[in-house]
Amino acid sequence: MASRIESLCIEKGLKMTGQRRIIASTISEAEDHPDVEEIYKRAAKNDANISIATVYRTVRMLEEAGIIEKHDFGDGKARYEESSEEHHDHLINIKNGQIIEFHNDEIERLQEEVAKKLGYKLIGHRLELYAVPLKE
C-alpha cells in the first residue's frame, strides 16, 4: 500500500521515484532530527546511488508540501522531522545535543496574546529551550 508520503506525491502530480521513496521512508523512520548529511547516509544504506543533491531537493519538496518540518537548532545546518498532528517545541540538552519534544498550551496561548497586544496576528513561532540535566 502507498505510504502517506506516496499518496501526497500522487496527489500533487509528482513522480514517485525510488529515491523519493527511500528518502521519505528514511525520514519517516527517524526518531531523531537528522540533518541532510545524516539522511543521506541512512538513505545510502538502502541505495548507494542516491546523491546528496537529490536529498536536498527531496527534503525541500517534502517541506514545501508540509509533509516534513525543517528546524534550525543553531548549528548552521537544517534538521528535519516528519510533521506530526500535534505541534511541539524542542528542548535541547546542551551537554549531548539530545532533543526532547514538548508542548505547553499555556505558552502557546501567551504567545498569541503577546502578538495581539503588539498589534499583530501570530502566524508561527520558534521556541527552543537550551538546558542541562538536573542531575546525572
Partner DNA sequence: TTAGCTGCAAACCCTTTGCTGCGTA
Partner DNA sequence: TACGCAGCAAAGGGTTTGCAGCTAA
Contact residues for DNA (CB under 7 A)?
10, 14-20, 35-37, 47, 49-54, 56-58, 60, 76-78
Residues that bind a copy of itself (rule: CB under 8 A) add up to a total of: 32
Point out which span in 19-27, 40-48, 58-66, 108-116 binds a copy of itself (CB under 8 A).
108-116
Phi-psi region of 2 (alpha: psi -120 to 50; beta: other; left: phi over 0): beta
Measured from the CB atom, the residue of 2 and 127 that comes closer to a copy of itself is 127
71-78 contact pairs (CB < 8 A, 24+): 71/33, 73/33, 73/99, 73/128, 74/128, 77/35, 77/36, 77/37, 78/35, 78/36
Where do contacts with a copy of itself occur on this chain (CB under 8 A)? Answer: 72, 74, 91, 93-94, 100, 102, 104, 106-107, 110-111, 114-116, 118-134
